[in-house]
Amino acid sequence: MELLPAVEAFAEKYTSAESPLLYKLNRETHLKVELPHMLSGHVQGKFLEMVSHMLRPRRILELGTYTGYSAICLAAGLPDDGVLHTIDINEELETLCHQYFEASGYADKIKMHIGKAAEVMTSLDEMFDLVFIDADKAGYVHYYDLVWEKLRPGGFILADNVLYHGQVLQPENEQGSQAKAMIRFCEKVLADDRAEQVLLTIRDGILLIRKK
């Protein structure tokens, strides 16, 4: 486990740098917002951006906006007619998000919704090419079920925090409720023959799922 900080530092060194705007958002989040570890950050943000560029999705759904860092990264790969819908329950961060969306140049492509993810998601009349789940961990299983019919065949889901700070590797009696929720989610996806998946050990773990 002692190797992990060194590996992360090595990964950051050889990953393309954050844009000045994302660097500023990263710093402001850490200085002014509670729970800054929720930010995707440099390496994961660049990974999300790369995935978006590879897929060129027309429609993206993000569950869990936080301060907007990941939304900006995902929006980078949208085509001219592309749209990203991002949902968060915390209205106090809405102004900060819109400030950075405007500065990024993607404001016309990012539609932010404030409310409960399950309720907002079901109201959206869209078929999505890419979904990023980074909301409350206890809700992942439910979100997976809700989003499945809104995901086009061949579409992808990225589910964040599936390693949950390494707690998923601890004995069951030492796992917190969030870690147990992540294991339940991973087990559900593993048992779903409509999907194929790979668990990536980027940052806090990302489960990459493809709808067959």
The HSE-up count of residue 43 (CA atoms within 13 Å, CB side) is 16
Q: Which structural domain range is residue 27 located in?
A: 3-211
Distance CA 75, CA 97 (A): 13
Q: Residue 200: which CATH number?
A: 3.40.50.150
Model's pTM, two decimal places? 0.95
How far is residue 60 from each of residues 192, 206, 207, measured CA to CA in Å?
22, 17, 17
How do the pLDDT tens digits run along the chain, 212 residues long?
345 788 889 999 999 999 999 999 999 999 999 988 889 999 999 999 999 999 999 999 999 999 999 999 999 999 999 999 999 999 999 999 999 999 999 999 999 999 999 999 999 999 999 999 999 999 999 999 999 999 999 999 999 999 999 999 999 999 999 999 999 999 999 999 999 999 999 999 999 999 99
The number of folded domains in the chain is 1
